[in-house]
Amino acid sequence: MPDDRQILVIEDSRTFSLALRQLLQAETGLPVTTCASLKEVSDLIVAAPGAYAIAVVDLNLPDAPRGEALDWTVTHGIPSVVFTATFDLATRGRIMEREVIDYVLKDNEFALPNIVGTVKRALNNRNTRILVVDDTRTTRKVLARMLSIQQYAVVEAGSGQEALAMLESNPDIQLVVSDYYMPDMDGFELARRIRRRHPNVRVLGISSSTDRQTSAGFLKAGAHDFVSRPFVLEELQCRIASNVEVLDQLRQLQDLAARDFLTGLFNRRHFFARGRQLVGEARDMDLPVSIAILDIDHFKRLNDRYGHDGGDQALTAVARTLSIMAERGFNLLARIGGEEFAIIFPGADLAEAERLCEGIRTALAGAPLTIEGEILPLTVSIGVASIGPGDALEAALGLADQALYTAKQDGRDKVRTAAA
C-alpha cells in the first residue's frame, strides 16, 4: 500500500534544504516538509503526530548541537536518516546508538544523491519481507530488531524446519538470513533445501565460527552471501541492501520479459504460463473461469492506409481501454498476437464474462481514433468461452477464437459466445 505521509527534512542550510526537498519530492513523489531548528521540529511533530513516514536529520543544528533533533524524531517513532558534515568514531557511536536507518556524510558532491538513495531504499524496504532463522531467541531478536529499524518486514523462525514451513505459508518472503548452528539441520542444509524448493529466495548465512571454511560451505550450499559474527552493523546493512537490490533488478528483468514492448501489456508467453496457474487456482477454489479473445476490426486496412505508426496508435489505444476495463481483480490481460488480445476472467461464468466483454466493446466503440486529423471508428470483435473443469487453456482459447470468427461473420463490432 502506498504511503501518503510526508518526509521531514531537518537542516539549517537553506540552500542544502531546498535542493534536498526538490530531489526527494521528484524521486519519491511524497510531499516534503522542511525545518531548520529544534523548536520547529518539536512544534511540527507535536502538531501532526504520525504525519511523517521518514525524517532526514542534520545531526548538528545551532540550537541542537548534540543530536537533540534526532532524539526528537526517534523518540516519536519516526524512522530517521542522519547526515553530518563531521565524522569520527565518537560521532558514529552517537548516531548508531539511537537506532537510525543509516547515516550519510555531507562532505562530498555525492551527499545529496546518497541521501535520496538511502531514503528511497528505506521506503521500499517496507515491501521486502525477510525471514531470520536462529535457534537462540535473544540473538534472533537482536538481528530482527536491526532489520526492523531498516524498515524491512521481518518474520522469525527458531529452527530449519520452522523456516521451511514459514516459506511455504509466506510466499512473499524474499530473503532468508540464517545462522549456521541449529539443532535440527545446519545452515548448509537449510540453504540447500531453500534453493531446491524456493529458487527465487536469496539466502544470507551468518556464523560466529572461526573456521574460514564456513563461509565457503554456505556459498557452496546455495547461499548468496555470508557475514561473520560479530559483524559490523554497517556491513550487514550493506550486504542485505545489496541482495535486496539484486532481487529488485531481477523482478524488473522478469517484468520486462513478460511485457509486450508496444502496449505494456503482458505478452503471449506470460499469458499462457500465468494463465494455466490462474485457471488451476480458480479450480482449486471451485470458481468458474472464462476466457475472451478480441481482435481489432479492419486492422489491416488501417495499417495499409496509415502505416505502422497508425496501426501502433490503434493498438495502444485499445490497450489503454483494456487496461482500465479488464485489469481488475484477478483478471489476466495480454496481447497475444498482432492485433489480438486475450483476457482470462477467474470467478466469472460465461454470462458474466459476456457482460464484461460487452462493456469493453461499447467503451472502445465510443472512443474513436484520430490519425492525421481524421476521426476513425475503432471497434473490436470479441469471442468468449468458458473453461470447464477438464478443459486445457489452449482448447478453451480455441473455442473463444471460433466465437470470435462468428462475431466477424455477423458484421464485426460484436460479442459472441462459444456454444456449450
| Domains by residue range for the chain, with CATH | 6-124 (3.40.50.2300), 127-256 (3.40.50.2300), 268-417 (3.30.70.270)
Specify which residues 202 forms β-bridges with.
175
Q: Dihedral, CA atoms, 368, 325, 255, 284, nearest 10 degrees?
A: -150
**Is 97 in contact with 119 (CB distance < 8 Å)?**
no
Q: What is the pLDDT of residues 134-188, one digit of tens each?
A: 999 999 999 999 999 999 999 999 999 999 999 999 999 999 999 998 889 999 9
3-state class of 207 per DSSP?
strand
Please indicate whether residue 235 is annotated as part of the active site: no
Q: What is the pLDDT of residues 57-92, one digit of tens each?
A: 998 899 988 889 999 999 999 999 998 887 778 878
Q: Give the pLDDT score at 205.
A: 93
Q: Is 318 helix (H, G, I), strand (E, B) or coil?
A: helix
pLDDT band at 257 (very low <50, low <70, confident <90, very high): confident
345 sits in which H/E element = strand 340-346
Q: Give the mean pLDDT of the chain.
A: 91
Q: What's this model's pTM, rounded to 2 decimal places?
A: 0.70
Query: For 19-28, what is the mean pLDDT?
Result: 93
Instruction: For 289-315, write each residue's pLDDT tens digit.
Output: 999 999 999 999 998 999 989 999 999
Question: Looking at residue 2, what is its pLDDT?
Answer: 52
Confidence grade of residue 389 (pLDDT, cut at 50, 70, 90): confident
> What's the grid cell of residue 108?
562530498
User: What residues contact 174, with CB distance under 8 A and at least 6 apart?
Assistant: 128, 129, 130, 200, 201, 202, 244, 247
Sheet of 380-386, strands arranged across: 332-335, 340-346, 289-296, 380-386, 415-417
**Beta-bridge partners for 365:** none
State the DSSP code for 368.
Answer: -
Long-range pairs for 16-21: beta carbons < 8 A, 24 or more residues apart: 16/106, 16/112, 19/112, 20/56, 20/112, 20/115, 20/116
Q: Give the Å distances, CA to CA, from 131 to 79, 162, 174, 245, 371.
A: 21, 11, 8, 17, 54
Q: Which residues are CB-neighbours of 141 under 8 A, at least 6 positions away? A: 156
User: What tens digit of pLDDT does each residue of 315-348 get?
Assistant: 999 999 999 988 777 899 999 999 999 999 999 9
Q: Which of 40, 168, 281, 339 is catalytic?
A: 339
